[in-house]
Structure 1
Amino acid sequence: MKDIFVGSILACIVLLNSGCPKSCIEANYSFSVNAQVGPDRDSINVGDTIYITSSFPAKLIDQGTGAEINYTGAKKIGSTLGVGKLKLGSAIPVDAVFDFSYISIKGNVYNDRGIASPDAVQQLIYQDSNNTYELKVGLIAKVKGTYALGIGNGLSVGRSGVKNCEKAAFDISLNKTNQHFNIYQSFTQNNQSNDYERKHAYYFVVK
């Protein structure tokens, strides 16, 4: 049951529309970047806001070659945010995007009704600011419950002024964040978490 539960919660966070030309299918570069979720509390009240932040420079290390790449002028760096409501006794979370209101502070968070699961997934777009890519968005709780967030990996379709696609994949990991796996464990009755969960998942209660 654990594998079914985990897959159901986190499968939604890999949805991302690349928009890249068919002639450029694979990413040219692979970068590793970080994100954080705060404030550092395992429970909040209705009306409180949770913030997701991420910031990284345009000069990054390609994970495939170890070379420093100046990835300035990205046309768009997008990611996803999966939002699920957990229920005891069920292996499948409930789509919960609209249990929250959203604010965009740096970059953008929005809902794309054209994807397969728009009630489970929000879209995230980074802001290009002085050779730094930044994201800061807020989720304002509207409904009580226990929730799982999944921060998806990112993708850029290329760079402005560059004829080649130069598509880039961004491996986004949560760091400096208490991800509250004790909440997850209380639902699954399992004390183990896999690598993907440790990198991407965040759990909390709305009271």
Structure 2
Amino acid sequence: MSASGSAVADLLGLVAFGELLAFERMAGDARLAPDLRRRAALSEMAGAEIANYRRLADRLTGLGVLPAEAMTPYVEPLQAYHDSTEPRDWAEVVTKAYVGDAITDDFLREIADALEEPDRTLVLDVLHDTRYADFAAAEIREAVADDPRVAGRLSMWARRLVGEALSQAGRVAAERATLTALIARDGRVDVPGLFGRLTTAHTARMAAAGLNN
């Protein structure tokens, strides 16, 4: 496999394992839902994640790469992120879905511009549906409306989520040279500008949910 092909497989492996972990997390977190409507909503989100994983695994197989091998380098850092950010209640569950998943999507959306087809479209297609973000944001706003003191706790939780995510992202970048090369390929991704845009989007997202950055 060429260097560029290896980089694409690295990225698809990262996204695939992220989808697999998201399925496991959401399916488990659904038990914290306060009622069946919310439990069903999060379970539907989990179902979408495993369907996305299947698409990515099939693409890796088509490239001649075993999905398990492509995902293995990311098991430890991604699992470490989720293990260190276990939600304690429903409000933290939806905040993690809203903040953590969205910043990951923003990052992948930026990187997708450096990919050739069909991988560009595949990565963009597996990003989270906006209706799930809308659902999570509405749940956060409702929690804050019911008890304004919750806003401070969830704002701190969101900052912790972002900090942990960036920490593990730095670890991945340091350990996976092929992935880093893809991100900066041909100078098409301005890393300082990328993180600036991620921060701006995160700040707007927090405000939309009634939280402080």
Query: The TM-score by the shorter chain falls in which range?
Result: under 0.3
Higher relative contact order (CA 8 A, sep 6+): 1
More helix by share: 2
More strand by share: 1
